[in-house]
Each structure stands twice: as structure tokens, then as C-alpha cells.
Amino acid sequence: MKDNSKLIEEIKALAKEKNAIILAHNYQVPEVQDIADLTGDSLALSIQASRTDADLIIFCGVHFMAEAASIVCPEKKVVIPVKEAGCAMADMLTAEQLKEFKARYPGLPVVTYVNSSAAVKAESDICCTSANAVQVVKWTRAREVIMTPDRNLAAWVRRHTDQVVHAWNGYCPIHDELAVKEVKLAMEEHPGAVLMAHPECTEEVLKLADVVRSTSGMLDYARSSDREEFIVATENGLLHALQKENPGKRFYAVSPKMICTDMKKTGLEEILSALKDEAPVVKVPEETRIRAYKAVERMLEVPRD
Ligand code: 13P
Ligand code: SF4
């Protein structure tokens, strides 16, 4: 195995010197998760970052996550180590497309998943995460809502409310392509395991799951469960955190294909360059930021069940 100790030392020293904080999403490669000051889901990371006194945020994740940090921490410099790290689902909806979609349903509240660009959030009334989508839609008290960009998260919400949900036809290719056949095979291989699935999976897959949770929700569930084996139906990067936190339990990837290549673009060398250059910077223009922030702020007002 490669010895990264010098690189790690250099990153830590430079981060300290520059009063920087390193954030890593739960899908990042193990060495990036291990060096991060904070790991978690995209929104939780940004909110935690806004509460620190760091001047510089190195966001190891994909572009919309760095934008989310820029939305909630406008006074901090936000750097994404790999500029090209994007999210296929977020790219499936532009602000222009959302404006046209809204025109088809005048007056309906727009609930937008955090996996979206800042410009799309700015066109939305309220944001949601995979952890609180059902509560957010219920909280609107509207008989009908628009949900973007994930059709699978929208279908999950539909199953849990009696509201009418008009969904944009976006999806995460990694979660959406997971087939029922593959899930059943994993269940046969590990008959005693709990099946945990992310709501970005299709409705057919979610019907097989014992628990449906966001990445942070799966970590909470595994930590407090007295069960010992778990099949994990989400991006495989989460297995590192699950295994690290629960050394006595066993976690199985539902399929080796659950890899988001954009999430794997960031390594230690990229983090070091980002710290040295303080680039590439992600900065949401102020006019967009203010409108996007309102949608995020409204979500934060929604009480958790
Ligand atoms: P979480 O918000 O559950 O971490 O999910 C983010 C994501 O990109 C899922 O594909
Ligand atoms: Fe986007 Fe899917 Fe990758 Fe998550 S796993 S960042 S939704 S492409």
C-alpha cells in the first residue's frame, strides 16, 4: 500500500497555517474521508462549516455541494479540489428548464432536493434532503407540489403523503440503475442482513428495503441497531464510514457497480494543490445566493419528526 504519511502531514500543516477546514462527503475515497475534519452528507457539512471560524473551506465532494457551502457561508472562501467533479442528477435540470416546468403548474410550491445547482435552488420555494423530503412536502400543506430534480425521491414522497407530487424526470444514474435482480441476489447471499437503501433507488428496489435512509441516516441506523449484518444499497464509499464506526458489524455492498466516478476524482494530491493554490474557487453570485439561501433557510424551519 502507498505510504501517504508525508502528504498527510503536509496537508495538515498547511490547513492549520491557513485556518482551513476540510469537508468530505460520505462517498469520498477512504483516505479523503480519513483526513477530513468533518464527514457527512452535503447539507450537514455546509451547516457545520458555517458554524466554524475557518476562513477557507476545502470541499471534497461534487460541485453542487461546494455551491451549498458558498450559499450558507458567503464570507468564507470555498474551494473544490477537482473542478470537474459534478453530479449527473443535478445536471439534469437547469434554471431555465425549471422555469418552464413551473409555468405548467402555476402557483404550486417547488420543493427541490439539495442535489441541484444554486441557480435551480434560487428558482425553488424550499429545499429538502433525502433525510427530510417527506416532512418538507407535508409541511408545505399544499394539495399539490412540484418536486425536482429526482423522480425516485418524489416517488418515495408520494408513497408517504396523500399530496399530489409533480416530479421532474431526473435521477441518479448510479442508484437508478440498481436492478431488483441484483438486490435479490445480495439478499440471497446474506439472508440475515438488514437491507438499507437510499431513496434515490427506484420504487421497486425501495419496496424490498428494510430501511430507507440518507447516507447519514444509514450511519445512525447502523450505530444504534443491535443487528450485525447490513446490505448497503447506496454508493459504495459509505461502506468505509460504516465499517470504521462499527468494527464488530459486517457491511456488504449491494453491488460492486455502485460507484459515483465524480465522487472518486478527489485524492490527497488534489487536496494539497487546492490548499496551496486556494483554487478552484466556487462562489455563487450574490443575487442567486440570496434567493437560494431562502429556500435552504425555509427547509431548516421544518421540524424533524
Ligand atoms: P446524502 O444527502 O444522503 O448524503 O446523499 C447525497 C447523494 O449524492 C446521494 O447520491
Ligand atoms: Fe450525484 Fe448520484 Fe453521484 Fe450522488 S451518487 S453525487 S446523486 S451522481
Whether residue 41 lies inside any domain: the answer is: yes
> Which ligand 1 atom is the nearest neighbour of the CA of 40?
4
Domain assignment present for 241: yes
| pLDDT tens digits for range 53-67 | 899 999 999 999 999
* pLDDT tens digits, one per residue of 69-119: 999 999 999 999 999 999 999 999 999 999 999 999 999 999 999 999 999
152 and 210, same domain (yes or no): no
CB-based pocket (< 6 A), ligand 1: 26, 41-42, 115, 129-130, 172, 200, 214-215, 235
Which residue range(s) make up the domain with 132? Answer: 90-172+288-300
- Under the banding of pLDDT at 50, 70 and 90, the label for residue 1 is low
Mean pLDDT value across residues 254-263:
98
What pLDDT is recorded for position 243? 98
Residue type, 168: W
* In-domain check, residue 243: yes
Evaluate whether residue 47 is within a structural domain: yes
Residues 270 and 121 in one domain: no
Give the pLDDT band of residue 25 (cuts 50, 70, 90): very high
Q: Are residues 129 and 274 in the same domain?
A: no
Q: What is the pLDDT of residue 263?
A: 98
Q: Is 87 in the pocket of ligand 2 (CB under 6 A)?
A: yes
Query: In this structure, is residue 305 part of a structural domain?
Result: no
Cα separation, 261 vs 274, in Å, equals 20
In ligand 2, which atom is closest to the CA atom of 90?
A: 1
Please indicate, yes or no, whether residues 106 and 163 belong to a single structural domain of this protein. yes
Q: Compute the mean pLDDT over every residue in the chain, rounded to the nearest whole number.
A: 96
| Nearest residue (CA) to ligand 2, atom 7 | 172
293 and 166 in one domain? Answer: yes
Domain count, the chain: 3
33 and 11 both lie in a single domain: yes
Distance (Å) from CA 273 to ligand 1 centroid: 26
142, part of any domain: yes
- What is the predicted pLDDT for the residue at 2? 75
pLDDT band at residue 49 using 50, 70 and 90 as cut-offs: confident
Atom of ligand 2 lying closest to residue 27 CA: 5
In a domain, 208, yes or no: yes
The stretch 5-31 carries a mean pLDDT of 97
- On whether the CB atoms of residues 277 and 81 are closer than 8 A, the answer is no
Q: Quick check: CB of 58 below 6 Å from ligand 2?
A: no
Distance CA 128, CA 137 (A): 8
Centre of ligand 2 to C-alpha 186, Å, is: 22
Same-domain pairing of 165 and 217: no
pLDDT(131) > 80: yes
The CA-atom distances, in angstroms, between 126 and each of 76, 113, 175 are 24, 9, 24
**E-assigned strand segments in the chain:** 20-25, 38-40, 56-60, 77-79, 110-113, 126-128, 144-148, 164-167, 194-197, 211-212, 229-233, 250-253
Same domain, 269 and 227: no
Tell me: do 94 and 166 sit in the same domain: yes
Percent of the chain topping pLDDT 70: 99
Average pLDDT over residues 186-209: 98
Of 23, 33, 38, 41, the residue with max ligand 1 atoms within 8 A of its CB, to mutate for a pocket test, comes to: 41
Model confidence band, residue 47 (pLDDT cutoffs 50, 70, 90) = confident
* 258: in domain: no
Residue 32: per-residue pLDDT: 98
Using a cut of 0.75, tell me whether the model's pTM lies above it: yes
- Domain of 209: which CATH number? 3.40.50.10800
Indicate if 146 and 292 belong to the same structural domain: yes
The answer on 47 and 76 residing in a single domain is: yes
pLDDT at 50 over 90: no
Q: Are residues 161 and 213 in the same domain?
A: no
